[in-house]
């Protein structure tokens, strides 16, 4: 066994996006492609020698091969110890927790999250720092810089490690520990939530639930927690077997891609509660019987009810939401007298706020919610939080959300995604909106008057770093908003996201259909952006 140095040449497309480097599997399979990126990570980290890192992925196609390659490269680069998930699998939240509880130096998470998997699907690599959270921009920029100049990488010549069972191995001088993360994760959840109350509710016979793991990573965690620990009946977790191609599905928990769950919750004899999570387990969708909870509302409801949950009963230091997320949580924060921070899209921007104790709960409109228990969003955590609130209040999901609207008003909210459009047209669309900033100021569209039109820029309150061009936004005098952003996680062409928000304080008008309530704003958004002209699409691919 020896360390070999392999000559390579840079690839020009290894810039990490919103959440790591995501590409088609076929791109990652190109000779040296994965290795270049991993070596660039190692090269841009200081004092890596002898350190402990965590390694695991969402189990998608190419996960196993990539794990073996990364282990051999870690050994050749002087890493001291790697904690790797059994079968190479770790959910993103579990990986974050393991980095923290082991005080590891960092972690490498292999996931393309909600993107489809399989030989024709996507793959991804993300680096997390010692706080357990996604690397901030200054780290991802250093990695990207390195990918542009790399000339060689190191790899240990050795046989593959058996990842099927928990155990300890040596790879050269490096220790490899194959771990089962389900127990640790389940204990962490038990430390935050009222498991006795949950067990009582789930075994009472008059509360039913359905958890859809979408053949992705949360299956084993969900079965261990809901069925084994909390006593829900067998079969509560559906699609609970992680598969390399997610059973051909699109592991994105929304009303379109989680069709099976939606049919159950909106069907006859629907259960009281339903939830789904995504490919790597950090997203969640919560449904009540015949009722959909908008993720922006979910963050607001959890914030307003956190005092009912043991782990948060002593109060929240603050909350944070991504810019396109609706302002529903802002109203709750105001009432609670706690600060509310607005960050760019992507969980990495919450890390500093959480580390500094400025925020306790965080959320994104994209079905992501989390807290200071780890540094990633956490799908099952959000689901258990919801169940704890439902059990403590003894009300249905629908009752809880509707009484929330009555108290705080309703922020009608929707996102229209136009996936896989031509990049050129998408860029032109954003430029077209940007070019109108000056003339939009004060302009009237029906009942709406433009208050501001700008490019969202964020200055991190902790380290002062500035992130510009984080979405173009048009705000109206009544608080309504239209936002356009290009996705930083897609792998085919560009994805245009159009976000729409309006506020309704009159409870007699809160039952309107969301798309209807936002109808005028949608028209205005099309008029301003000339979307059809630039990207030649009549209908969005997904509406959430
Ligand atoms: C999307 C979401 C964003 C989320 C990111 C990663 O990014 O909008 O809110 O943080 O995915 O989530 P974008 O750039 O495509 O809009 V995950 O579950 O894919 O790690
Ligand atoms: Co995800």
Give the pLDDT confidence score for residue 18 in this predicted structure: 86
Per-residue pLDDT tens over the stretch 123-136: 999 999 999 999 99
> Which residues, in sequence order, are CB contacts of 337 under 8 Å at separation 6+?
none
Q: Kindly state the percentage of the chain with pLDDT values over 90.
A: 93
Strands (E), 226-360: 237-238, 273-277, 284-288, 291-292, 319-322, 340-343
Is residue 470 lining ligand 1, measured as CB closer than 6 Å? no
Angle CA 177–178–183, to nearest 5:
115
Give residue 40's pLDDT: 98
Tell me the two tokens of residue 474: 């048009």
C-alpha to C-alpha distances, 210 to 73, 121, 178, 261, 277, nearest whole angstrom? 41, 27, 31, 8, 12
Any ligand 1 atom below 6 A from CB of 497: yes
Cβ atoms of 345 and 324 closer than 8 Å:
yes
Q: Please indicate whether residue 321, judged by its CB atom, sits closer than 6 Å to ligand 1.
A: no
pLDDT confidence of residue 538: 82
Give one DSSP letter per residue of 141-206, joined into a string: HHHHHHHTT--EEEEE--PPP--SS-EEEEETTEEEEEE--HHHHHHHHHHHS-HHHHHHHHTSSS
Q: Do domains 3-181 and 185-408 have the same CATH topology?
A: yes
Kind of pairing between the strands at 319-322 and 340-343 = parallel
- What is the C-alpha separation between 70 and 93, in angstroms, rounded? 20
Position in ligand 1 atom list of the atom nearest CA 279: 18
Residue 101: burial class (beta carbons within 10 Å; 0-12, 13-18, 19+): middle
Looking at the CA of 216, which ligand is closest? 2
Q: Which residues are catalytic?
A: 113
Among protein residues, the one whose CA lies closest to atom 11 of ligand 1: 489
Q: Is the CB of 52 under 6 A from ligand 1?
A: no
> Using an 8 Å Cβ cutoff, are 484 and 502 in contact?
no
Question: Is residue 4 within 8 Å of 157, Cβ to Cβ?
Answer: yes
Q: How far is ligand 2, taken at its centre, from the CA of residue 278, in Å?
A: 6
Distance CA 76, CA 365 (A): 41
Whether ligand 1 lies within 6 angstroms of the CB of 378 is answered as no
Which atom of ligand 1 has the smallest separation from the CA of 377? 18
115 lines ligand 1 (CB under 6 A): no
Look at residue 536 in the predicted model and tell me its pLDDT.
Answer: 87
Answer yes or no: are the C-beta atoms of 333 and 327 closer than 8 Å: no
Question: Among 389, 366, 195, 391, which Cα is nearest to 301's?
Answer: 389
Cβ pair 276, 212 in contact under 8 A: yes
- The token duo for 286 is 């919560």
CA of 128 to the centre of ligand 1 (A): 16
Say if CB 401 and CB 291 are below 8 A apart. yes
Given a contact cutoff of 8 angstroms between Cβ atoms, the answer to whether 117 and 30 are in contact is no
Q: What is the pLDDT of residues 380-429, one digit of tens each?
A: 999 999 999 999 999 999 999 999 999 999 999 999 999 999 999 999 99
CATH number of 3-181: 3.40.120.10
Say if ligand 1 is within 6 A of residue 376 CB.
no
- The confidence score (pLDDT) of residue 508 equals 86
410-543 belongs to CATH 3.30.310.50: yes
Neighbours of 43 (CB within 10 A): 18
Pairing of strands 410-421, 167-171: unpaired
The encoded tokens of residue 431 equal 């430029």
Distance of CA 466 from the midpoint of ligand 1 (Å): 20
The Å distance, Cα 279 to ligand 2 centre, comes to 6
Protein residue whose Cα sits closest to atom 16 of ligand 1: 487
pLDDT in the model for residue 474? 96
Atom of ligand 1 nearest to the CA of 283: 18
Structure tokens at 327: 């302002």
Does ligand 1 come within 6 angstroms of the Cβ of 252?
A: no
> Mutate which of 16, 17, 18 to test ligand 1's pocket (most atoms within 8 Å of Cβ)?
18
**Which residue's alpha carbon is nearest to atom 3 within ligand 1?**
346
Task: Give me ligand 2 centre to Cα 125, in Å.
Answer: 12
> Which helix (DSSP H) or strand (DSSP E) does residue 425 occupy?
helix 423-435
Dist. CA 94–CA 392, nearest whole Å? 26
Ligand 1 closest atom vs CA 346: 10
CATH architecture of the domain covering 185-408: 3-Layer(aba) Sandwich (3.40)
pLDDT recorded at residue 201: 96
Q: What distance in angstroms lies between residue 18's CA and the mean position of ligand 2's atoms? A: 11
Ligand 2: centre distance to CA 509 (Å): 34
Looking at residue 61, what is its pLDDT? 96
The reported pLDDT for the residue numbered 490 is: 79
- In a mutational test of the pocket of ligand 1, which residue from 109, 112, 368 has the highest number of ligand atoms less than 8 Å from its CB? 368
Q: What's the pLDDT tens digit per position in 143-165?
A: 999 999 999 999 999 999 999 99
Ligand 1 atom 8 nearest Cα? 366
For Cα atoms 403, 407, 412, give the angle at the middle one, nearest 5 degrees. 80
Pocket test for ligand 1, best of 19, 282, 498 (most atoms within 8 A of CB): 19
Delimit the domains of the chain by residue range: 3-181, 185-408, 410-543
Atom of ligand 1 nearest to the CA of 280: 18
SS3 117: coil
| Whether residue 343 has its Cβ less than 6 Å from ligand 1 | no
Beta pairing class for 368-371 and 361-364:
antiparallel
Q: What are phi and psi of 4, to 5 degrees?
A: -110, 150
122 Cα–ligand 1 center, Å: 14
Give whole-number Cα distances, 29 to 66, 71, 217, in Å.
Answer: 9, 17, 22
Q: Which residue positions in the chain have pLDDT lower than 50?
A: none
Q: Are strands 81-89 and 174-179 parallel, antiparallel or unpaired?
A: parallel
């Amino acid at each position: 066994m020896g360390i070999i140095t392999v000559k390579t040449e840079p690839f020009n497309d290894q810039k990490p996006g919103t959440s790591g480097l995501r590409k088609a599997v076929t791109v990652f399979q190109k000779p040296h492609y994965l290795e270049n990126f991993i070596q660039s990570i190692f090269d841009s980290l200081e004092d890596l020698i002898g350190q402990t890192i965590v390694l695991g992925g969402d189990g998608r196609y190419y996960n196993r091969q990539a794990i073996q390659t990364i282990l051999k490269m870690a050994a050749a680069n002087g890493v001291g110890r790697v904690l790797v998930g059994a079968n190479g699998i770790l959910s993103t939240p579990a990986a974050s927790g393991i980095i923290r509880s082991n005080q590891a130096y960092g972690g490498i998470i292999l996931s393309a999250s909600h993107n489809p998997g399989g030989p024709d699907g996507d793959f991804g690599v993300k680096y997390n720092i010692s706080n357990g959270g996604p690397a901030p921009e200054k780290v991802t920029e250093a990695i990207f810089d390195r990918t542009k100049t790399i000339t060689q990488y190191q790899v240990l010549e050795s046989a593959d490690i058996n990842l099927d069972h928990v155990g300890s191995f040596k790879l050269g001088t490096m220790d490899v520990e194959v771990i089962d993360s389900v127990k640790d994760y389940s204990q962490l959840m038990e430390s935050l939530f009222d498991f006795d109350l949950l067990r009582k509710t789930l075994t009472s016979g008059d509360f039913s639930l359905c958890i859809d793991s979408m053949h992705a990573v949360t299956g084993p965690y969900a079965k261990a927690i809901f069925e084994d620990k909390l006593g829900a009946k067998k079969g509560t977790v559906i699609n609970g077997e992680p598969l390399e191609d997610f059973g051909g599905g699109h592991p994105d928990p929304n009303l379109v891609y989680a069709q099976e769950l939606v049919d159950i919750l909106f069907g006859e004899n629907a259960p009281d509660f339903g939830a789904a999570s995504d490919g790597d387990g950090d997203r969640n969708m919560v449904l009540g019987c015949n009722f959909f909870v908008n993720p922006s509302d979910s963050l607001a409801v959890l914030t307003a009810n956190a005092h009912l949950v043991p782990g948060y009963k002593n109060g929240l230091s603050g909350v944070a939401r991504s810019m396109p997320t609706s302002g529903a949580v802002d109203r709750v924060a105001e009432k609670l007298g706690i600060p509310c921070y607005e960050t760019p899209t992507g969980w990495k921007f919450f890390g500093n706020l959480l580390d500094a104790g400025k925020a306790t709960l965080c959320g994104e409109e994209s079905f992501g919610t989390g807290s200071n228990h780890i540094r990633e969003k956490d799908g099952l955590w959000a689901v258990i939080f919801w169940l704890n609130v439902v059990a403590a209040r003894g009300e249905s999901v629908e009752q809880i959300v509707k009484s929330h609207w009555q108290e705080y008003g309703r922020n009608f909210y929707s996102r229209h995604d136009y996936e896989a459009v031509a990049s050129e047209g998408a860029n032109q669309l954003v430029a077209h909106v940007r070019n109108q900033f000056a003339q939009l100021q004060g302009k009237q569209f029906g009942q709406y008057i433009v208050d501001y039109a700008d490019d969202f820029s964020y200055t991190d309150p902790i380290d002062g770093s500035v992130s510009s061009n984080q979405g173009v936004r048009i705000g109206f005098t009544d608080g309504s908003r239209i936002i356009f952003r290009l996705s930083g996680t897609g792998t085919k062409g560009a994805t245009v996201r159009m976000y729409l928000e309006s506020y309704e304080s009159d409870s007699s008008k809160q039952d309107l259909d969301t798309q209807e309530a936002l109808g005028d704003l949608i028209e205005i958004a099309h008029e301003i952006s000339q979307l059809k002209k630039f990207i030649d699409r009549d209908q969005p691919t997904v509406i959430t």
